[in-house]
Structure 1
Amino acid sequence: MALHILVLAGGSGTRLWPLSRGARPKHLLSLGPDGQTLLQATVERVAPLADEVHVVTAAEQAEACAVVLHGTSAPVSIIAEPTARGTGPALGLAVHRIARRDPDALIVSVHADHHVDDTEAYRAAVLAVAGWAAATGGLATIGLPPTFPSTALGYIAVGAGEPPDRWVSPPGPAADPVLLAAAAALPAAHADAFVEKPPLDRATAFFEDGDHLWNLGLFAWTAAAFLAELAGADAGLDAKLRDVVDAQAAGDEKGAAQIYASLPAIAVDPLLMEGSASLTVVRAGFGWSDLGSWSDLLAARAGRADDEGNVVDGDVLLIDSRDCLVEAVGGRTVAVLGLEGMVVIDTGDAVLVMPAGASQQVKAVVERLRREGRTELL
């Protein structure tokens, strides 16, 4: 049994508009430590744990991902999704391809565009979820105790009692006894239910009850368990994915793309995780953000803030302003005077100015531009 880690690097790049675009999605932006892209940072974070690392991305982003990953500390293969169909088909394609040559594979899926504060705690959580997937022969996931009642994230309801199985140390090159001990010590339980982006009153109740965890979208399974769950959930989708892999193996990329384009677009959560009777959730603890908005980025960069709470990049002139995020990456000087709690983003061809509290509404700008046919800005 070998440990494979899938790094999901998809998305259309709209939540951090105008910095992120369709051709320059969030995971390819230099928002990681020391100027790394988020994709680079994620690969470097997980590579020491895995026998193999695979980046799963859209076909049109494959070349850009390969360029970004050139020179990383570990070899990475790229699995290109012919057409965007969501994480369900994308992971199904990846698992089928891995299972063809490694039917006993143990697989962990992580996202390429997340911010993590504590690398060692994150690695312990990855090993923990992999170990539970190996021990139970089922599916496993990681949950984080919510730090505030978010309506932008999904939640996992934690069941009573511990899993009946005993955690096992997963395969892979990570032999650090301290890290393995930390992984073994993380509490785990049966996952009772998933709740997707609840309204504020329910999110507040989840925040207060201690029985609900944030869903990070970080999953683990054996190849056999995933494919069995997939066949049970949607036998037609499973059969078509097998046909896609057969076509790719025969060198028929056009045929594979045609089959893949006919698949439904669905996330892996409703496809498999929410209906699984064998799902273990590991309660982890590390600073984390999905960087789903400009306010998230401001919070993640709090350590870089000046004495007035401002976080800036580029040629920025601040006067009597506080708690602002200013990105001047368009080659111009950006002056900010007398503002508080604002986001100002200048990319040269577009400028975004808004209260940080309105960050979740950036999608309205993107939708307006799309309706007006302003594709050059998307």
Structure 2
Amino acid sequence: MSLHVIIPAGGPGSRLWPLSRAAQPKFLLDLLGQGSSLLQATVDRLCPLTASLTVVTGASHGEAVASQNLPARLNPEVKSKYAMLLEPSRKNSLGAIAWAAARLQAKYGAVIAGSFAADHAIKDVSAFRQAVTAAVKAAEGGKIVTIGIAPSRPATAYGYICASDTILRAEGDQPPVLVAKSFKEKPSEPQARNYLETGGYFWNAGMFVFNTEILLSHLRELLPSYYETIQEMVRLTPGTAEFVTLWESLPSYPIDTAIAEPVAARGGVAVVAAA
């Protein structure tokens, strides 16, 4: 499978404080006691599916991420396709994902890429890989695909994805892929209970799989100046003064509200209904 993996590994380190701090954020910790950080575990989960790996992290975390020795966890043919991109400042998820996607397209042409959080703890790795495989197949058909987690309780700490009844594909042991109707912000407890009772709602885990050409075409349409800035950045050496100036000019947007929500409104987003 040719999945080009993007792992945004950033944040202020405020979650799980004081265990997690700015200099040692959650994704660098071995919270599960398995001898590997959450970032390393993320790479291990995706390794069999990975054609290349791009980790996007803050400049202040560059040394710590480098010490994770992630290329050693990759298959031999993929090791040379590892890149670590350093963000001069935090620009939310759209900055990291759009920059990485544009670089991938410049290097490999239009490819299927997936963005996966660096700090998720996932027990059923086999089921996760089946969900990613289903997402890749749907992305090959032109959809932006997100992996939704079936809610086990009326959680108010997560955003939700509302899925339609339209099944795009269902194959073998892979979870079904549904057309996504809309994204919902973190709800109140009564709203969350209503979502569970109604059905068809999934926790938004912030994982997206897409064709780089499709994602960038949506970016060009929805945020043309943002798109142009990203394209200029790709032609520059990261860290140079001109690059940093362009980066700092980017607004700070989450990919959910900037891309996924408006594209879902026109039927361009699918959700893998992972259990």
Task: Report whether the alignment pairs 1:18 with 2:8.
Answer: no
Q: Which of 1 and 2 has higher RCO (CA within 8 Å, sep 6+)?
A: 2
Task: Report whether the alignment pairs 1:27 with 2:27.
Answer: yes
Alignment of structure 1 residues 262-341 onto 2, 5 Å: 262-276=249-263, 277=266, 278-285=268-275
**Separation in structure 2 between the aligned mates of residue 140 and residue 70 of structure 1, nearest angstrom:** 26
CA contact 2:42–2:119 (8 Å) conserved in 1: yes
Alignment of structure 1 residues 190-201 onto 2, 5 Å: 190-201=179-190
> Identity over aligned residues, as a percent?
33
**TM-score, length-scaled by structure 1:** 0.68
Assess, with a 3 A threshold, how the Cα gap between structure 1 residues 254 and 191 changes in structure 2: closer, same or farther.
Answer: same
Among candidates 118, 131, 146, match of residue 151 of structure 2: 146
Q: Secondary structure at the match of 2:72?
A: coil
**Separation in structure 1 between the aligned mates of residue 256 and residue 167 of structure 2, nearest angstrom:** 22
Instruction: Tell me which amino acid in the other structure corresponds to 1:36.
Output: S
**Separation in structure 1 between the aligned mates of residue 259 and residue 222 of structure 2, nearest angstrom:** 7
Q: Deviations over 1:276-312 (max 9, x none)?
A: 0200111012xxxxxxxxxxxxxxxxxxxxxxxxxxx
Among candidates 182, 185, 188, match of residue 173 of structure 2: 182
Alignment of structure 1 residues 135-284 onto 2, 5 Å: 136-163=141-168, 181-183=172-174, 186-248=175-237, 253-276=240-263, 277=266, 278-284=268-274
**Separation in structure 1 between the aligned mates of residue 270 and residue 123 of structure 2, nearest angstrom:** 24
Q: How far 1:194 sits from its partner (Å)?
A: 0.4
Instruction: Say which is worse superposed, 195-204 or 30-39, in terms of deviation.
Output: 30-39
The aligned residue for residue 55 of structure 1 is 55
Instruction: Tell me which amino acid in the other structure corresponds to 2:179.
Output: H
Q: Secondary structure at the match of 1:272?
A: helix
Q: How far 1:58 sits from its partner (Å)?
A: 1.2
Task: Report whether the alignment pairs 1:82 with 2:88.
Answer: yes
**Separation in structure 1 between the aligned mates of residue 117 and residue 204 of structure 2, nearest angstrom:** 12
**Separation in structure 1 between the aligned mates of residue 270 and residue 196 of structure 2, nearest angstrom:** 20
> Unpaired runs of 5+ in structure 2?
none
User: What is the RMSD of the two structures over their aligned residues, measured on CA atoms?
Assistant: 1.7
**What count of residue pairs does the alignment treat as equivalent?**
266
Assess, with a 3 A threshold, how the Cα gap between structure 1 residues 272 and 197 changes in structure 2: closer, same or farther.
Answer: same
CA contact 1:6–1:54 (8 Å) conserved in 2: yes
Instruction: Tell me which amino acid in the other structure corresponds to 2:230.
Output: L
> Unpaired runs of 5+ in structure 1?
168-179, 286-378
**Separation in structure 1 between the aligned mates of residue 135 and residue 33 of structure 2, nearest angstrom:** 25
